[in-house]
Amino acid sequence: MSYAYLFKYIIIGDTGVGKSCLLLQFTDKRFQPVHDLTIGVEFGARMITIDNKPIKLQIWDTAGQESFRSITRSYYRGAAGALLVYDITRRETFNHLASWLEDARQHANANMTIMLIGNKCDLAHRRAVTTEEGQQFAKDHGLIFMEASAKTAQNVEEAFIKTASTIYTKIQDGVFDVSNESYGIKVGYGGIPGPSGGRDGSSSQGAIIVSFVENYGEEKWRKYGELIYNFMVY
């Protein structure tokens, strides 16, 4: 799969807040409550489209238990975005946000975009953290905020995509030097649409590009892709 950009995401937060479920809902569009608990790290990936450009999200889903923090810290390196998750029905998971944030600030690059997610908002009747508290925390720490439910899929897509478009805007604004991969961004095919729009289906344009890459290789695509793309557009 080719992409204009690849963003590395990391999902962090206390154990049992629903990190893996959010990932699964985003990548597979399903909710599976009985998956195995995460040891170390698990991975997911999905293509999204922002500003008509295919962007690949490579998502690191980490283990939440306190003991594993020292390992988790090594995963921040080169992450462009982070989803910091708490469980709205468990107050302590909200209380621990500050320490997660501290880890993130310390071990990730300063421009990492952080999305705060209050998960399990389908369980409103057991709510232990109000929406306002979440909003306030996000505001205080310069985070984007959403409440979501991995179970009902509410806001899951939005959370991942909103994070990506924030990163994308930062690229457009020149905040990142995209040639430096330590920002968690990789450029594919010179930042123009790749051969496929990913799971959103490939357009006929995409199909042409796929065949070009298959026949002439990525190298040539980088060289001539822009030209071909312009030709197709006009």
Does 39 participate in binding other proteins (rule CB under 8 A)? Answer: yes
Q: Please, what is the minimum distance in Å from the beta carbon of residue 17 to other proteins? A: 10
Q: Please, what is the minimum distance in Å from the beta carbon of residue 106 to other proteins? A: 17
Does 166 participate in binding other proteins (rule CB under 8 A)? Answer: no
- Joined tokens for residue 172: 């457009």
- Between strands 5-12 and 81-87, the pairing is parallel
Give the residue with the Cβ less far from other proteins, 75 or 160: 75
Does 191 participate in binding other proteins (rule CB under 8 A)? Answer: no
Does 16 participate in binding other proteins (rule CB under 8 A)? Answer: yes
Q: Can you tell me which of 30, 37, 98, 139 binds other proteins, judged by CB under 8 A?
A: 37
Does 1 participate in binding other proteins (rule CB under 8 A)? Answer: no
Give the residue with the Cβ less far from other proteins, 73 or 141: 73
Q: Please, what is the minimum distance in Å from the beta carbon of residue 31 to other proteins? A: 14
Does 8 participate in binding other proteins (rule CB under 8 A)? Answer: yes
- Cβ atoms 6, 181 nearer than 8 A: no
Give the residues lining the site for other proteins (CB under 8 A).
8, 15-16, 33-37, 39-43, 63, 65-68, 70-71, 74-75, 77-78
